[in-house]
Amino acid sequence: MKIQILQKKLKEGLNIVEKISSKSLTLPILNNILFSTEKNFLKLTTTDLEIGINFWILAKIEKEGKITVPSRLCSSFVNLLPDKKIDLEVKNNDLIINCENYKTKVKGLSAEEFPLIPNVEKIKSISFDASLFCKNLNQIVDIASFSNSRPEISGIYFYLTKNSVITAATDSFRLGEKKLTLKKSSLNEECSFILPQKTVKELINIFGEKKGEITMFFSPNQVMFEYQMEEVSHPQIQIVSRLIEGEYPNYQEIIPKKFTTEVILNRNDFLNQIKIASLFSGKINEVRFKINPKEKKLLIFSKNPDLGEYQSSVLGKIKGEALEISFNHKFFLDGLLNINSSKVILELNGDSGPAIIKPVGDNTYIYVVMPIKTN
């Protein structure tokens, strides 16, 4: 391999593919980046065997070839180089990187040992705005939590229809669901799958700030997210991820369709009060609300025998039955933090039924949380 490439372009690619390479002791080659030539492109590839990523950069290819080199070392090195032309050359299993007066020889491992990234056929696909999609995923991704006994809820659930993508996550104490309406899709039937949480976090990392669209292609065992180059009609980034096997719980059943008490509150005031109350909550993270439709405010209490006690109130519109109810402040805050509207609706079902938090004026997001039973 012998090529010329711009430092700025190589740096961009290395910084993205580096995120996926893993520190594997049993399979050291997973710590490496595969450099390979493909037509007039340099292709960078990394994988942790769960996710694989390809990144293409236009380059001047003098001689084709391929090699793998340690990812952190390589990206740290290229990051510190000046924004000039870089010469890359493979010699005796070393990658020579020269840029102006900087001359380096990086020890490589043979490209033959590098695992193959599975190919996903471009048959079924849907496309959406990259940054909007990532913003939506951000509202639910942290709710999922690793579970050995129920691996299916370790991932993010995707339910696709012709014109929408519904994503959901739960850890069995609370649940978030977000709906995205699509402009175009080549889907003729509904379909669903569970994507590992790590993949979703990497999607947000990599595509969160991108302009334009990403296209999702799917096969029974893998999905692929593809982002096109702006200048030429060629993929720039492809992320291929395995899916989690198993059936996602029928969570629609636990979303209450009615409520006994409804409160509409200013989101920021409510959030701030719960943060303060959390300072005085005890071991089970309990904060308590007293709600009475005769009052125009929700009262907040917390108490810890070792620290002291707190009480405050937030103005709100209250409808329905009076009640006292307790929540784990962490779970409650997570829901509020995922909502960006200025006002929120709290729908309660007695002091032990599931509660709903949702934004006012936006029916695409819903957060369900179980109260703490205090009796």
Binding site for a second copy (CB under 8 A): 70, 73, 76-77, 80-81, 94, 101-107, 272, 275-276, 279-280, 306-313
Residue 360 CB, nearest approach to a second copy (Å)? 23
Strands (E), 210-307: 213-218, 222-228, 235-242, 261-266, 286-291, 297-304
Based on the number of CB atoms within 10 Å of its own CB, is 288 exposed (0-12), middle (13-18) or buried (19 or more)?
buried
Strand partners, 313: 299
Query: How many CA atoms does the CB half-sphere of 172 hold within 13 Å?
Result: 9
Taking residue 59's Cβ as centre, other Cβ atoms within 10 Å add up to: 20
Q: Of 225, 215, 344, nearest to 274 (Cα)?
A: 344
Among residues 157 and 310, whose Cβ is nearest to a second copy?
310
Structure token pair of residue 18: 């580096």
Query: How many CA atoms does the CB half-sphere of 164 hold within 13 Å?
Result: 9
Cα–Cα dist 318/32, whole Å? 58
Q: What's the N-to-C CA distance of the chain in angstroms?
A: 71
Among residues 91 and 150, whose Cβ is nearest to a second copy?
91
Among residues 63 and 275, whose Cβ is nearest to a second copy?
275
Residue 270 CB, nearest approach to a second copy (Å)? 13
Q: Are residues 327 and 174 in contact, defined by beta-carbon separation less than 8 angstroms? A: no
272: Cβ–Cβ under 8 A, 6 or more apart, which residues?
none
Residue 95 CB, nearest approach to a second copy (Å)? 8
Q: Are residues 291 and 261 in contact, defined by beta-carbon separation less than 8 angstroms? A: yes
Among residues 102 and 146, whose Cβ is nearest to a second copy?
102
Residue 71 CB, nearest approach to a second copy (Å)? 12
Cα–Cα dist 119/56, whole Å? 16
Among residues 132 and 279, whose Cβ is nearest to a second copy?
279
Among residues 101 and 363, whose Cβ is nearest to a second copy?
101
Residue 93 CB, nearest approach to a second copy (Å)? 11
Residue 12 CB, nearest approach to a second copy (Å)? 19
User: Which 8-state DSSP code applies to residue 349?
Assistant: B
Residue 108 CB, nearest approach to a second copy (Å)? 9
Alpha-carbon distances of 207 from 99, 134, 247, rounded to whole Å:
29, 7, 28
Cα–Cα dist 111/281, whole Å? 56
151: Cβ–Cβ under 8 A, 6 or more apart, which residues?
244, 245, 246
Among residues 170 and 278, whose Cβ is nearest to a second copy?
278
Among residues 69 and 239, whose Cβ is nearest to a second copy?
69
Among residues 229 and 276, whose Cβ is nearest to a second copy?
276
Residue 333 CB, nearest approach to a second copy (Å)? 13
Cα–Cα dist 373/353, whole Å? 10
Residue 273 CB, nearest approach to a second copy (Å)? 8
Among residues 230 and 306, whose Cβ is nearest to a second copy?
306
3-state secondary structure of 353: coil
Residue 86 CB, nearest approach to a second copy (Å)? 13
